[in-house]
Chains A and B, each alone.
Chain A
Amino acid sequence: MLFLGYMKKTVKQIIQLYTQYIEGLKRLSAKERNEISRVLLKYKKVEEKTYEKSI
């Protein structure tokens, strides 16, 4: 089963690599989302304050 074992190991390595890539994308997207959220919230607060002042 040497060949199969070898192939399985390689396929496992590729799967691991691909999973790492997807996880990396997820992690970066989550960080991106948080930063965007913060910017949107900040904008919203500024907008509300401006609105209150205008009243």
Chain B
Amino acid sequence: MKNPFKHLQNQDKSPKIESTENYNLERLLESAEKSAEIDLTNFEKWIEKFILRQKKLLNITKGDLELEYEIYKIKGKYKSEKKKLKSSFLSRLKKIVKYTTGGIVALAFTAHFVQKEYPDYLSKEKEPTKIEWNEPTQKEIKKLSHEYALIMKSDSVFKETPDSIFENRFTNFVATYGPNIEIVHPGDDMSAGNKVYDWIFRWVLRQPSGRAHEGIGGTLFYEEKDLKMKEDSSGYDFQTSSFDDFVTELAHHINNDWGIRRSFAYAYDLVRGGFKQNEMSEDPYSSEYQADIITKDAIIKYLISDENNLNVDFVDIYNVEYEYYRELVKTRGYEKYADIEELSLRILIGKKFDNLIKDKEIIFKNLEKIRDILDGINIDKNLKGDLFSIMVIYFPLENSNNNYESILNQMIGTEKLRK
């Protein structure tokens, strides 16, 4: 007889707590060192250009050994001073980074125990925040609101609706629930601040080639190489990749998501995952996953809704999605990542909002029942995980007639026979 659990084995990806923290910091410092070296070289090139220009202006054409030696001596003196400056900058940076990491770890672990005290539901915002976005942000939102209008109007029901209705809906949504966003094109403006953000994204949060990054303090960070250049009447302009990318990043900026609990949770997840921010979105128990999958789905359900759900408040969608998520990740220690992801897709993301409401009670009840039954039997944790998989994947949670005791007895019988 075939092993009924074979296909489910080795699927679990348990959280790996690795101490890659030092490695990341080394890379961050390496990156800062490279950047500092490039700056130094650039200043030297600038001096070389200056000398050539001055010689030309003063009409010094002949090479004179004495003059060249004088210049060489000055350059040597300043070269050593600049190197000293660079070393001092790097050693001070090292101290700050080391101190910060210690602080993050301490905060994260404190947070782990504190976070439960803070509710994570979104409260209703009455009006959009009046905010002066910077020019690139304004341009981006304008472009995306138009893209949004086109998406909505591809549905024949909205074909005749004026673009402005949807454009305003999009802009109001951003101004109400994610007003603190700011778009930065680092290729366009590599100021000291942006360079530092760049080091952090690349080397601490490991975002090697992301198109849009969510940053500290509400910045959406677009990388130049991933932007397409588009020519329009005003010349070349940046064009970000897509509406979808924007929504993914916006999901991290929904007001409550960056409240105290989420910030703590984020810090804890960063430490738990060994500072691998990129991989956090694959862990269904992480705050990154919650934003990327659950919050993003709430935004999509709100923005790209059908005729029947157009008037549903975003807060209602968000809170229901979050309620589902809380039920899914109420772990008893044997649930597999793959199953939680599969359930997120099947019972949450693949459904319309009205069905989420309709099925909520029975799904929650069934999940609780399965977990209670599994808790009551004395078997290996891995086997419990396998049984959980079968019960939630092969027997729809929306079905009120599932007799889990009987299903379980049959499965355990089969397993005994197999042995």
Contact = CB atoms under 8 A, between A and B. Distances in A.
A25 B108 CA distance: 37
B93 A36 contact: no
A13 B259 CA distance: 23
B192 A25 contact: no
Contact of A3 (B51, B86, B107): B107
A35 B75 CA distance: 10
Interface size class of B (residues with CB under 8 A): 35 or more
Interface size class of A (residues with CB under 8 A): 35 or more
Given A21-B36, A22-B39, A29-B46, A10 B96 contact: yes
A36 B50 contact: yes
A47 B60 contact: yes
Interface in A1-34: 1-4, 6-8, 10-11, 13-15, 17-22, 24-26, 28-29, 31-33
Contact of B192 (A22, A33, A37): A22
Tell me what chain A mostly uses at the interface: helix, strand, loop, or mixed.
helix
B47 A41 contact: no
Nearest to B114: A2
B333 interface: no
Interface string B81-92: 110011001001
A37 to B, nearest CB: 6
B43 A25 contact: yes
A1 B71 contact: no
Contact of A15 (B46, B60, B78, B193): B193
B55 interface: yes
Nearest to B92: A17
Contacts of B70: 39, 43
Nearest to A25: B43
Contacts of A36: 47, 50-51, 54, 71, 74-75
B165 interface: no
A32 B264 contact: no
Contacts of B46: 29
Interface of B: 32, 36, 39-40, 43, 46-47, 50-51, 54-55, 58-60, 64, 67, 70-71, 74-75, 78, 81-82, 85-86, 89, 92-93, 96-97, 100, 103-104, 107-108, 111, 192-193, 195-197, 200, 216-217, 258-260, 263-264, 266-267
28 contacts: A1-B263, A3-B104, A3-B263, A4-B216, A4-B258, A6-B107, A7-B104, A8-B217, A10-B96, A14-B96, A15-B192, A15-B193, A17-B89, A18-B89, A18-B192, A18-B196, A20-B89, A21-B85, A24-B85, A25-B82, A32-B78, A36-B47, A36-B50, A36-B54, A40-B58, A43-B64, A43-B70, A47-B60
